[in-house]
Amino acid sequence: MIKISLPDGRTIEGEEINFEPIKEDWNLYKLEDGRILKVKLVLVKVYKTNEKDPLTGEPIYVVTSTNIVTTSSKLEEVKEG
């Protein structure tokens, strides 16, 4: 178990658990200047906490992630790559 600091100032315990990516899609956005912005969130670590969601009773997970961001000048280039 490790200590995890939450944005609200609380510290809770969590256990790092393994995961396997099933699908990591890009989110595509057309910018005002015509370029296409591609953004993908990629998980780095997943922690299962002892906390429960008060509405569902399901365990609460804390994740660390990174964002990958790139641009393309045309939508066709995005679809090909």
What is the C-alpha end-to-end distance of the chain, expressed in Å?
Answer: 41
CB within 8 Å of 24: residues ≥ 6 apart: 40, 41, 42
Report if residue 78 sits inside a domain: no
In total, how many domains does the chain have? 1
Examine the pLDDT at 80 and tell me if it is beyond 60. no
Report if residue 54 sits inside a domain: yes
Domain range for 43 is 2-73
Examine the pLDDT at 27 and tell me if it is beyond 80. yes
Report if residue 81 sits inside a domain: no
pLDDT category of residue 7 using cuts at 50, 70 and 90: confident
Q: What is the pLDDT of residue 45?
A: 96
Report if residue 35 sits inside a domain: yes
Instruction: Indicate the pTM of the whole model.
Output: 0.72
When pLDDT is averaged across residues 43-55 and rounded to a whole number, the result is: 93
Report if residue 21 sits inside a domain: yes
Report if residue 80 sits inside a domain: no
Report if residue 31 sits inside a domain: yes
